[in-house]
Structure 1
Amino acid sequence: MATQVVILAAGMGSRLGRSLPKPLTELSDGRSIMRQQFDNIEHAFGTEAHVTIVVGYKLEHIIEAFPQASFVYNEEYDQTNTSKSLLRALQASGTGGVLWMNGDVVFDPAVLDRAHAMVERDQSFVTVNTSQVSDEEVKYTTDDEGYIRELSKTVAGGLGEAVGINFISSAHKAILVRHLARVNDQDYFERGIELAIEKNGLLVEPLDISDFYAVEVDFAEDLERANLFV
């Protein structure tokens, strides 16, 4: 079965101060952020991977740039957060697990090489970076068995940061959908994962990719840092 991949790209990305959707921001190697994501997906999963993009803000530009993808429209992109974009994508997905990523992450192709084995094993995971723990980022803790216990920006004593590349298994997908539907419109998708862990005992592994680069581009300085790697 072809790997199902979702890219969340509905938001306005106003903090970067660009007129086009943030995933179309050009990198120093001439590719857009989303183009390097597509290249990385193809590198790890081949051309048969099925990519769905959740669109909203100025969607026509993304649709024109990536006509080979499927699209899910978050018509409330200016009123909701990533929890509702992911909800729409999972509801539209086929049978099987789903790998998803934020549309503004610039990352080493080797990240998905490492993730590939867990996707094949159908094991839910959240990619993490343990080399830094910034207050404004989504952080995590683990339980005694090493699975994710807490996952939010308000976590105290975080072990690292969530990178924004994740996988929900076929067995867990319906549970996550249920919790994403219940969370507040302004919640990030991590809140749905956290609730699924708390209420249903979901086993989500932290996948450490600290030895690779992964930069979520929110501000101009993030873009400068990402351009050092590509």
Structure 2
Amino acid sequence: MTTQIVILAAGMGSRLGRSLPKPLTELADGRTIMRQQFDNIEHAFGGNASVTIVVGYKLEHIIEAFPQASFVYNEEYDQTNTSKSLMRALAASQPGGVLWMNGDVVFDPSILDRAMPFIARDQSFVTVNTAKVSDEEVKYTTTAEGYINELSKTVKGGLGEAVGINYVSSRDKGMLLAHLSRVGDQDYFERGIELAIEKHGMLVEPMDVSDLYAVEIDFAEDLERANHFV
């Protein structure tokens, strides 16, 4: 089955202070953030990947840059957060699991190599970094069995940070979609995952990539750090 991949790129990205959508920010090697993501996807999946981009803010620039993708429009991009962008993408997806990523993550291509066994066995996962735990980032805890328990920015005693690259299995997708539709407009998609775990016992594994790079670009210093890797 073709792997379905979603890139969330509807937001305005105002904190970085650029005029174009943040995923079109140029890196030191001349590629944009999203082009680096597409290159990583091609590295892992070759041509056997179906990429859908959730667009909103200045969507025409992203559509022009990546005409080979499919697009889902979040018309409330300026009033909603990633929960509602992911909700729209999952609702538009074909049967089967979905791998998704935030459109502002510059990451090591080996991360997708590491994800392949999870995807092959159709196991929901959240990519995590245990090397640091910052207050402003999405953090997580696990159950005694090693599955994700809590997942939010307000987690106390977090074991690490969520990286922003995740997979929902074919069996879990409908459950996650239902919870994404119920969370608040300003919630991140992690809230939908957390509720699906809490209310329905969804089993989500943490996939540790602490030895690899993954930088979410919110501020100029993040971009500077990412440029050391590419």
CA contact (8 A) 1:9 1:55 kept: yes
Q: Any residues of structure 2 matched to 1:1-230 within 5 Å, and which?
A: 1-230=1-230
Deviation at 1:37, TM superposition (A): 0.2
Show CA shifts across 1:149-200 (max 9, x none): 0000000000000000000000000000000000000000000000000000
In the alignment, residue 137 of structure 1 is paired with which amino acid?
E
CA contact (8 A) 1:45 1:116 kept: no
Structure 2 runs not aligned, ≥5 long: none
TM-score by length of 1: 1.00
Query: Equivalent residue of 2:212, what SS?
Result: coil
Query: CA RMSD of the aligned region, Å?
Result: 0.3
Deviation at 1:134, TM superposition (A): 0.1
In the alignment, residue 167 of structure 1 is paired with which amino acid?
Y
In the alignment, the residues of structure 2 paired with residue 34 and residue 64 of structure 1 have an alpha-carbon distance, to the nearest angstrom, of: 13
Deviation at 1:9, TM superposition (A): 0.1
CA contact (8 A) 1:128 1:209 kept: yes
Query: Equivalent residue of 2:174, what SS?
Result: helix
Deviation at 1:53, TM superposition (A): 0.1
In the alignment, the residues of structure 1 paired with residue 64 and residue 42 of structure 2 have an alpha-carbon distance, to the nearest angstrom, of: 19
What percent of counterpart residues are identical? 82
In the alignment, the residues of structure 2 paired with residue 63 and residue 158 of structure 1 have an alpha-carbon distance, to the nearest angstrom, of: 38
CA contact (8 A) 1:128 1:206 kept: yes
Deviation at 1:127, TM superposition (A): 0.1
Deviation at 1:52, TM superposition (A): 0.1
Query: Equivalent residue of 2:144, what SS?
Result: coil
Deviation at 1:48, TM superposition (A): 1.9
In the alignment, the residues of structure 2 paired with residue 12 and residue 229 of structure 1 have an alpha-carbon distance, to the nearest angstrom, of: 25
Deviation at 1:8, TM superposition (A): 0.1
In the alignment, the residues of structure 1 paired with residue 159 and residue 24 of structure 2 have an alpha-carbon distance, to the nearest angstrom, of: 32
In the alignment, residue 90 of structure 1 is paired with which amino acid?
L
Deviation at 1:113, TM superposition (A): 0.2
In the alignment, the residues of structure 2 paired with residue 157 and residue 27 of structure 1 have an alpha-carbon distance, to the nearest angstrom, of: 34
CA contact (8 A) 1:140 1:159 kept: yes
CA contact (8 A) 1:141 1:148 kept: yes
Show CA shifts across 1:76-99 (max 9, x none): 000000000000000000010000
In the alignment, the residues of structure 2 paired with residue 174 and residue 127 of structure 1 have an alpha-carbon distance, to the nearest angstrom, of: 21
In the alignment, the residues of structure 2 paired with residue 89 and residue 43 of structure 1 have an alpha-carbon distance, to the nearest angstrom, of: 23
TM-score by length of 2: 1.00
In the alignment, the residues of structure 1 paired with residue 82 and residue 189 of structure 2 have an alpha-carbon distance, to the nearest angstrom, of: 5
Deviation at 1:222, TM superposition (A): 0.0
In the alignment, the residues of structure 2 paired with residue 29 and residue 44 of structure 1 have an alpha-carbon distance, to the nearest angstrom, of: 20
In the alignment, the residues of structure 2 paired with residue 22 and residue 2 of structure 1 have an alpha-carbon distance, to the nearest angstrom, of: 28
In the alignment, the residues of structure 2 paired with residue 86 and residue 99 of structure 1 have an alpha-carbon distance, to the nearest angstrom, of: 11
Deviation at 1:47, TM superposition (A): 1.2
Deviation at 1:45, TM superposition (A): 1.0
In the alignment, residue 218 of structure 1 is paired with which amino acid?
D
Q: Which moved more, 1:45-54 or 1:155-164?
A: 45-54
CA contact (8 A) 1:83 1:192 kept: yes
Count of residues paired in the alignment: 230
